[in-house]
Structure 1
Amino acid sequence: MELPEPIVDVGGAREIGRDLVVIPDRSVPLVPNIGVIGGSEAVLVVDTGMGPRNAERVLEFALEYAAGRRLYLTTTHFHPEHAFGAAVFAGEATYLVNQAQADDLAVKGAGYLQMFRGLGETVAQALDGVELVAPDTVYASAHSLDLGDRVVELRATGRAHSKGDQVVRVDDVLFTGDLVEAGQFAIFPWFPPHDVDVSGTRWLAVMQRLVDAEPVRTVVPGHGEVGGAQLLADTRDYLELLRDETWRRRDSAMDEETIVAEVTDVMLKRHPDWTGQDWITSGVRCLCADHS
């Protein structure tokens, strides 16, 4: 079945805080939630949408929103719907990410571009003309970005959904990228032999740290509805259950196909309203290979 066009609709942008808006995904596959955060002197855009035409829409919106303020861009991780529009911002914004994410983009970006083009004509069209560009500024593990009377904290989490995941915090709002989804099973990009960097156990540890950190009021997930801090706990609890149910069966020498079937049944009964059930399979396969 052909996927719908992954179009970012900037007309749906809504304010979730002072000088802070989210362009929502509208539940469209391969469209992320995009943030625009303002200070007195500068504005930060969080994620670009997939491909140059989506990024052009986001950039036009951001420039109008900035009204002369300096522009920055960051991406929560290197995957195509989050970062493959960055070239459009060249000359207009300073692009900054953590070192692990920059490395991901350099090493795996071209492969992901090819892989995503194979997902269907609508996705291939969205990716037409993509140019993969290196960030202007790279930080090691933490960076405080002063937008003028407002500081945004960028934090590399370590390997989880990808090697280069990053969370973005401003005031009591947290942008998580695909570390957290709302109403959707966690996305495990487990694509052996091409990419096996996702780690269910390390992801779970990251989520526990986020739950234990200074409380937040609002969580902006990679995909799905903006929500409260409970989204962090929901993701942690899901990953913990997925690990426990998978490992219990794996340790009893059950074959992997049976593990996938049984764990999928458990998860669908626990979360009957969540979408993206195919990601349960890749999550189970990832955890079957994980002996942490």
Structure 2
Amino acid sequence: MSEEAVTTDPVVHVEGVQEPARDLVVIPDRRVQLVPNIGVIGGHDAVLVVETGLGPGNAEKVLEFAADYAKGRRIYLTTTHFHPEHAFGAQVFAGEATFLLNRDQAEDLKVKGPGYLEMFKGLGKPVERRLQGVEPARPDVVYDRAYDLDLGGRVVQLRATGRAHTRGDQVVRVPDADVLFAGDLVEAGQFAIFPWFPPYDTDVSGTRWIAVMERLAAQAPRIVVPGHGEVGGAGLLADVRDYLRLLRDETWVRRDSAVDERTIVEEISALMIERHPEWVGREWIEKGVGCLCSEHAEHAEHPEHAE
């Protein structure tokens, strides 16, 4: 997601899938903007699809791939959060798969989905075409904080993390393979995406995101599937945790000195680009600073609640 115009077609290619663990495949994003990494996790009796791709056309390809992979097994669908490239193809799965979401994400999809649909249509003609015919999908199963899905000989753990990148973030754990699908809580080779669009959307929380990343990094899964970018290991979690901590600390020390927000953005952008010159998505640094500046006031009043 970016405020800049998207000129490439955000198309999902189901060829060249990766198999980081037994009966578990990742359809890679191929570093195409607004294409997520998509997972298909198998058990004896069923498969779980993680993410749909942007719009009905992409979702149809994902469903076709999943049905072929399932070979008669039941199909489930879940999404890591409600943003369009992750969830705005779910309608295609209706009648073909059981759609599971945590309660906060289901609410995000219902309440904020229409606004995001219109916003994303304005990102460029390729995106607008992909989003034609999108209708909000309603989950078949809604859980509060935790749901264990038995695929037959393999239990997959769906866990709501609480507010971070969005209000309804979810991670998907496959314990027997030690794999974590992290959604946009984690990107590989990219600055953290802060959907900070006041006054329209201010649900992202830098301080809570740090707390989530500290918990996830402590678990040190063998394989981490980020929302975007190359599949990696636990180092991806540590990278995001450390970046967010530094972003907070550098923002707040300047805020404590009454530096104006424009100067903070300029200084921290330069610092972060120097630290990570190879990372893409530099426009998200400013959004992160804006979010953390807003949280600085809360921290100053209630430092014990900052994280």
For 1:79, give the aligned amino acid: H
Q: Name the structure 2 match of 1:83.
A: 87
**Aligned-partner SS, 1:205:** helix
**Aligned-partner SS, 2:189:** coil
CA contact (8 A) 1:75 1:97 kept: yes
2: CA distance, partners of 1:87 / 1:193: 29
For 1:27, give the aligned amino acid: R
- Which of the numbers 231, 236, 239 marks the counterpart of 2:241? 236
- Residue 2 of structure 1 and its aligned partner are, at CA, apart by 4.2
CA contact (8 A) 1:6 1:50 kept: yes
CA contact (8 A) 1:42 1:71 kept: yes
Q: Name the structure 2 match of 1:155.
A: 159
**Aligned-partner SS, 2:67:** helix
- Counterparts of residues 19-34 of structure 1 (less than 5 Å): 19-34=23-38
- Counterparts of residues 139-178 of structure 1 (less than 5 Å): 139-170=143-174, 171=176, 172-178=178-184
With normalisation by structure 1, the TM-score equals: 0.99
Query: What are the superposed Cα offsets for residues 78-132 of structure 1, whole Å, 9 maximum, x if unpaired?
Result: 0000000000000000000100100111110000000000001011011111111
- Counterparts of residues 129-144 of structure 1 (less than 5 Å): 129-144=133-148
- Which of the numbers 65, 68, 72 marks the counterpart of 2:69? 65
Q: Name the structure 1 match of 2:119.
A: 115
For 2:269, give the aligned amino acid: T
- Residue 227 of structure 1 and its aligned partner are, at CA, apart by 0.2
- Which of the numbers 9, 13, 22 marks the counterpart of 1:9? 13
- Residue 15 of structure 1 and its aligned partner are, at CA, apart by 1.0
Q: Name the structure 1 match of 2:199.
A: 193
With normalisation by structure 2, the TM-score equals: 0.94
2: CA distance, partners of 1:274 / 1:86: 30
Q: Name the structure 1 match of 2:273.
A: 268
- Counterparts of residues 213-228 of structure 1 (less than 5 Å): 213=219, 215-228=220-233
CA contact (8 A) 2:195 2:204 kept: yes
**Aligned-partner SS, 1:3:** coil
CA contact (8 A) 1:168 1:175 kept: yes
**Aligned-partner SS, 1:226:** coil
- Residue 3 of structure 1 and its aligned partner are, at CA, apart by 2.3
**Aligned-partner SS, 1:138:** strand
1: CA distance, partners of 2:121 / 2:199: 18
For 1:193, give the aligned amino acid: P
**Aligned-partner SS, 1:11:** coil
2: CA distance, partners of 1:220 / 1:96: 19
- Residue 16 of structure 1 and its aligned partner are, at CA, apart by 1.1
1: CA distance, partners of 2:106 / 2:243: 29
- Which of the numbers 160, 181, 188 marks the counterpart of 1:182? 188
Query: What are the superposed Cα offsets for residues 191-230 of structure 1, whole Å, 9 maximum, x if unpaired?
Result: 11110000000000000011123x3100000000000011
Query: What are the superposed Cα offsets for residues 116-151 of structure 1, whole Å, 9 maximum, x if unpaired?
Result: 000010110111111111111000000000000000
Q: Name the structure 2 match of 1:282.
A: 287
CA contact (8 A) 1:3 1:29 kept: no
1: CA distance, partners of 2:59 / 2:182: 20
Q: Name the structure 1 match of 2:303.
A: none
**Aligned-partner SS, 1:128:** coil
Aligned-pair identity (%): 70
The count of aligned residue pairs is 291
- Which of the numbers 205, 210, 221 marks the counterpart of 1:204? 210
For 1:242, give the aligned amino acid: L
2: CA distance, partners of 1:177 / 1:23: 14
CA contact (8 A) 2:6 2:33 kept: no
2: CA distance, partners of 1:235 / 1:27: 18
2: CA distance, partners of 1:133 / 1:97: 11
The CA RMSD over aligned residues, in Å, is 0.7
CA contact (8 A) 1:182 1:225 kept: yes
**Aligned-partner SS, 2:8:** coil
Which runs of at least 4 in structure 1 moved beyond 4 Å after TM superposition? none
Q: Name the structure 1 match of 2:108.
A: 104
Q: Name the structure 1 match of 2:59.
A: 55
